[in-house]
Amino acid sequence: MSYRLNSTRSAAVFCGSRHGNDPAFSKATAEFGARLAEAGIRLVYGGGRIGLMGVLADAVLAGGGQVFGVIPDFLRRLEVEHGGVTEMVVTETMHARKQLMCDEADAFVTLPGGLGTYDETIEIITWRQLRLHDKPIFILDIAGSARPLIAAIDAAIEMGFASADARNLFEVLDSVEAVTGRLRALSAEGASANPEADAIRLT
* Min dist. Cβ of residue 183 to ligand AMP (A): 21
Q: Of 56-64, 100-108, 114-122, 185-193, which part binds ligand AMP (CB under 6 A)?
A: 114-122
* Min dist. Cβ of residue 97 to ligand AMP (A): 8
Residue with CB nearest ligand AMP?
A: 116
Q: Please provide the size of the chain in residues.
A: 203
With CA atoms as reference, report the closest residue to 8 among 155, 195, 184. Answer: 184
Secondary structure letter of residue 157 according to DSSP: H
| Single residue of 33, 54, 113, 190 touching ligand AMP by CB under 6 A | 113
Q: Residue 124 and residue 170: Cα distance in Å, rounded? A: 10
With CA atoms as reference, report the closest residue to 88 among 116, 46, 117. Answer: 46
Q: Of 34-42, 80-88, 115-123, 141-149, which part binds ligand AMP (CB under 6 A)?
A: 115-123
Q: Residue 77 and residue 67: Cα distance in Å, rounded? A: 19
With CA atoms as reference, report the closest residue to 7 among 104, 108, 107. Answer: 107
CB nearer ligand AMP, residue 79 or residue 106: 79
Fill in the amino acid letter for 137. Answer: I
With CA atoms as reference, report the closest residue to 42 among 22, 63, 25, 26. Answer: 63
With CA atoms as reference, report the closest residue to 138 among 26, 41, 27. Answer: 41
* Min dist. Cβ of residue 47 to ligand AMP (A): 8
Residue 89 interacts with ligand AMP (CB under 6 A)?
no
Q: Of 57-65, 112-120, 145-153, 164-172, which part binds ligand AMP (CB under 6 A)?
A: 112-120
| Single residue of 116, 167, 175, 198 touching ligand AMP by CB under 6 A | 116
Instruction: List residues near ligand AMP by CB under 6 A.
Output: 16-18, 46, 48, 75, 79, 94, 113-117, 119-120
